[in-house]
Amino acid sequence: MRLGIYSTVNGLPWGASEYLWSQTALRLQQQGHTIGVNYQWFPDTPPPLAKIQAQGGSIFWRNRPGPEPIRLSRRFTDKVLQFGQRYHDLWLRQFAPDFVLISISYHTDDVSIANACLRYGIPFATLLHCASTADWITTRHLETCRNAYTQANRSFFVSKANHAIMERLLAAKIPQARTVHNPLKVAASPLPWSEPDPVWQLACVGRIHFRSKGQDLVLQVLRQQQWRDRPLRVVFWGKDQGNQRQLEDLANWYGVRHQIQFGGYVQSPADIWAQSHGLLLPSRFEGMPIVTAEAMLCGRITIVTDCGCNSEWVDEGETGFLAAAPTVDDLDAALERAWQHRQDWQAMGMLAAKRLRQHYSPDPIAEFIIELDKLYPLKPSP
């Protein structure tokens, strides 16, 4: 089969939204299938894309700078849309896919490739990684988005919550929806527990981006009097995506710099959980928060907001603690509940690992390939 993969990612070269489709593509290549990826151009090719290329896959770079770049004013909306459609047509004619998977990082991303697939009669599926009511779909893009989700052969979501959000945003039923899991980077067994000495350490893991991950809320909680003298440290792990300077300045302004650290970006999540007692992440929106699943599998409690899969996985007071909403009061209340039960964190973490293993796929890639095979029988390319 010739599988075309269109990724809408555009804000950063690579992210968690790219794990499922890229690992699926690599495995399908090993099975004899031909892969063609349509991807936003970045100066440096992400390593997984380079690996797909090395195994015979083709990459169609969108918006790659040329010697004579085409410049269109934003005022000429119709011309811009027509140019985008010509881009889609060019890729579909060049690669001639049997089936297209549209991987959507965020629900407001451009999904007009779906209209092109419909014009050419090419079956396709959508895979949405994150949806939020923080951003509504504008009237100008409503029909295009409805086409993408309602006329796809299958609409994959990484959480039931995101499926519900999209039906509300589109004001339309998506009956052919399925929920799938992302691959993880940790083993399915808890890590050894490290006793506090005497500081309890929580990890706030994710790109440092206030709008999505809500790290600013952590500092607003820590600045409150009841937290100032408690032996609690929060380590922020992840790449800066625009807000680390503000995070550092807020910590100094609020007088809580002694209670936080910056761990940077690490490739192995196990390195984080080996030195942490739990996860603290007040996300303002999520799809399938991989970090929650990885923390739980490593035997750590989670203190997270009720978004994405969090409420599907975290049992309040048993395996973790849920903040009802991404607000200072709700996060403070959840952290307080956790603090009062800190002597139970080790046992709660062990239970979290056990329960998550019961309903998380041991091989998300294999299961996703089975789902694709139902839509278009996967026969190796000639």
Residues 305 and 326 in one domain: yes
Local confidence pLDDT in tens for the 382 residues of the chain: 999 999 999 888 999 999 999 999 999 999 999 999 999 999 999 999 999 999 999 999 998 876 544 443 434 333 333 445 778 999 999 999 999 999 999 999 999 999 999 999 999 999 999 999 989 999 999 999 999 999 999 999 999 999 999 999 999 999 999 999 999 999 878 999 999 989 999 999 999 999 999 999 999 999 999 999 899 999 999 999 999 999 999 999 999 999 999 999 998 999 999 999 999 999 999 999 999 999 999 999 999 999 999 999 999 999 999 999 999 999 999 999 999 999 999 999 999 999 999 989 999 999 999 999 999 888 877 7
- Establish if 65 belongs to a structural domain: yes
Residues 10 and 154 in one domain: yes
- Establish if 190 belongs to a structural domain: no
213 and 181 in contact (C-beta within 8 Å)?
no
- Establish if 355 belongs to a structural domain: yes
Instruction: Report the SS3 class of residue 379.
Output: coil
Residues 347 and 368 in one domain: no
- Establish if 138 belongs to a structural domain: yes
As a whole number of angstroms, the distance between CA 374 and CA 368 comes to: 10
Check residue 73 and give its pLDDT: 40
- Establish if 381 belongs to a structural domain: no
* DSSP β-ladder status, 154-157 and 58-62: unpaired
Buried b / exposed e over 132-141, threshold 16 CB at 10 Å, is beeeebeeee
Residues 19 and 116 in one domain: yes
Residues 114 and 257 in one domain: no
The total domain count for the chain is: 2
Residues 130 and 67 in one domain: yes
As a whole number of angstroms, the distance between CA 62 and CA 87 comes to: 8
Residues 222 and 126 in one domain: no
Identify the DSSP state of 259.
G
Residues 263 and 136 in one domain: no
Check residue 283 and give its pLDDT: 97
**Token pair recorded at residue 72:** 């269109």
Check residue 72 and give its pLDDT: 39
Check residue 79 and give its pLDDT: 37
- Establish if 336 belongs to a structural domain: yes
Residues 150 and 26 in one domain: yes
144 and 177 in contact (C-beta within 8 Å)?
no
Residue 229: domain span = 200-359
- Establish if 270 belongs to a structural domain: yes
Q: Assign residue 295 the CATH number of its domain.
A: 3.40.50.2000
Amino acid at 152: A
Residues 213 and 323 in one domain: yes
As a whole number of angstroms, the distance between CA 373 and CA 27 comes to: 13
Residues 6 and 74 in one domain: yes
Residues 314 and 250 in one domain: yes
As a whole number of angstroms, the distance between CA 60 and CA 91 comes to: 7
